[in-house]
Amino acid sequence: MDAIDVIRAKRDRQRLSDEQIDWVVDAYTRGVVADEQMAALAMAILLNGMDRAETARWTRAMISSGERLDLGAVGRPLVDKHSTGGVGDKITLPLAPLVATCGAAVPQLSGRGLGHTGGTLDKLESIPGWRAQLSTSEIAAQLRDVGAVICATTPGLAPADRKLYALRDVTGTVESVPLIASSIMSKKIAEGADALVLDVKAGSGAFMKSVPQARELAAALVGIGVEHGLRTTAVLTDMAVPLGRAVGNAVEVAEAVEVLRGSGPTDVVELTVALAREMLRLAGASGVNPAEVLASGGAYETWCRMIAAQGGSPDAPLPEAAHRHVVEAPADGVLQSLDAYAVGVAAWRLGAGRSRKEDPVQHAAGVLCLVKPGDTVERGQPLLELRTDTPDAVPAALAALDGGWRIGDDAPPAPPLIIDVLR
């Protein structure tokens, strides 16, 4: 095999053979294929695509580059969830303990935020003492004892994806659907779950801005799952407006706890319950009603046990921002829109997110959406509350919000939160 031949094949719109895919992924992981060569191949894939069989084989090669978790002794059906990322998307936090309370086990290996989308691990690290990095034996033990774990991916899972992901980020090839799908699924399949539910978001705050784009990605993800014998469902959800009212780290944890105690924003509750139903269906535990369990506060005890098992103190006060700035309504009317991307960028600029993977985040920084589209407002009423430890960041956050919301006379039609389900 030769890297140039593989690059030329995809450049000329040929289908890559299984042998070519296996060789190039393995060779790149070992350093035999150089970054510039893999960058050229990634660009060729972006421009010319891969069919379903190629994408499945590429995913298999990335899985084979590392280890697979063996969680078979947990004693419960294993079901995982993955979100393609959004603004205010704290759904994993109440969802994992809810599904565990209903009888399944949730091995939720998560990541950190980059840019305007938040990271689950960044949110949880605002809890004093909580740690993200667990060994494989710790993950298995916590799944047996608690039923849910949210932690960082172990270093041995799909190392080819970790290397290729960093390369795509700096070579303009992030948007390739086959490479996105194989990146997500290689890690999820290597986790060893029996089933997977994907929350594929569409809208301004999502990676996929349109429903057709999100549907294409969802179909690719489900196709890979089917090819690998993993029971997979994709739920297409709206990300034009931030989920819930809190966007940031500690503020999202606080909102997730509200949901786990039986209250919280209706959209967060709706999506948590919908995804839980699908996870339990795939796990064969659909006899339990997750809506009733969540409303009763029954999942909160599992949350406390999950946090404590990873060294966190569920009762400890969360970080509070040193500075707050309120954005007021300039006129009477109805809030007609609140752009998720604008709010996400504002939270990022306040310190809740990062520009580079190595950057720190402010745990207390973020944005509270005090009103949502459809709410009636009066002149001078607080619309948004900006929180940060660095007041100098407020002007940049306000600039990001400029044009990100609109007040008018009539209430806008409420789009459905759940757009479609692909099985």
- 82 is annotated as an active-site residue: yes
Q: Which of 163, 168, 215, 231 is catalytic?
A: 168
- 161 is annotated as an active-site residue: yes
- 123 is annotated as an active-site residue: no
- 135 is annotated as an active-site residue: no
- CA angle 143/148/152 to nearest 5° reads 95
Q: What is the number of alpha carbons within 13 Å of residue 155 lying toward its C-beta?
A: 2
Q: Which of 122, 161, 199, 238 is catalytic?
A: 161
Question: Could you tell me the maximum CA-CA distance found in the chain, to the nearest angstrom?
Answer: 69
Contacts of residue 252, Cβ cutoff 8 Å, sequence gap at least 6: 88, 90, 93, 118, 123, 244, 246, 366
Q: Which of 10, 90, 116, 187 is catalytic?
A: 187
Q: Environment class of residue 171 by beta-carbon count within 10 Å: exposed (0-12), middle (13-18) or buried (19+)?
A: middle
Q: Which of 60, 82, 116, 215 is catalytic?
A: 82
Q: What is the DSSP string of 343-365?
A: HHHHHIIIIIS-SSTT----TT-
Q: Is the dihedral of CA 263, 268, 270, 273 positive or negative?
A: negative
Residue 378 carries which side chain, given as an amino acid letter?
Answer: E
Q: Does residue 190 contact residue 68 with C-beta atoms inside 8 Å?
A: yes
DSSP β-bridge partners for residue 367: 247, 386
- 187 is annotated as an active-site residue: yes
Q: Which of 183, 186, 188, 354 is catalytic?
A: 183
For residue 94, CA distances in Å to 175, 193, 257, 273 come to 30, 19, 7, 10
Q: Does residue 373 contact residue 336 with C-beta atoms inside 8 Å?
A: yes
- Residues annotated as catalytic (active site), given as ranges: 82, 161, 168, 183, 187
